[in-house]
Homo-oligomer: A and B are copies of this chain.
Amino acid sequence: MYTVCVRDHFMIAHSFNGEVFGPAQRLHGATYVVDLEFRRPELDADGLVVDIGLATTMLAEVLGDLNYRNLDEEDPLRGRNTTTEFLAREVFDRVAQRIAAGQLGESARGITALRVTLHESHVAWGSYEGALPSSASA
């Protein structure tokens, strides 16, 4: 299995609901350094997992929709606990939609799985990984 990963980041404010969160129930914020991994069993005709230029642009766009925002006020996140692991899944879904819509080109249909990791500090990170919904037909 081949994997290619690109990294970017975004910076947000949010708060959490529930006693389990302790002081993190207050409005605070985070920098998330994001690793987006693309996986496929065989390389495409150019010897690539994915066009890194397109992948980098796509990740910047996905994170741009979240960057410099208070997630407590942003649809469709309003009312959710936007934990690191929850946001990893959110980024996963948005990337998967764009791949399905063809933003990474035809060859990207060979991508069978993604993993999204959000590093929230030097001592904690969360991730979500899964097969691509559309990969069965790829």
Per-position 1/0 for A85-105, Cβ under 8 A of B: 110110000000000000000
A43 at the binding interface (Cβ < 8 Å): yes
Q: Is the Cβ of B29 less than 8 Å from the Cβ of A30? A: yes
Which single member of B14, B21, B81, B121 contacts A29 (CB below 8 Å)? B14
In Å, the complex CA distance between A121 and B33 comes to: 7
A4 at the binding interface (Cβ < 8 Å): yes
Q: A13-B27, A29-B29, A128-B2 are in contact. Are A123 and B7 (CB under 8 A)?
A: yes
Task: Enumerate chain A interface residues (CB-CB to B < 8 A).
Answer: 1-9, 11-14, 16, 18, 20-24, 26-33, 43, 46-49, 51-53, 67-70, 80-86, 88-89, 117, 120-130
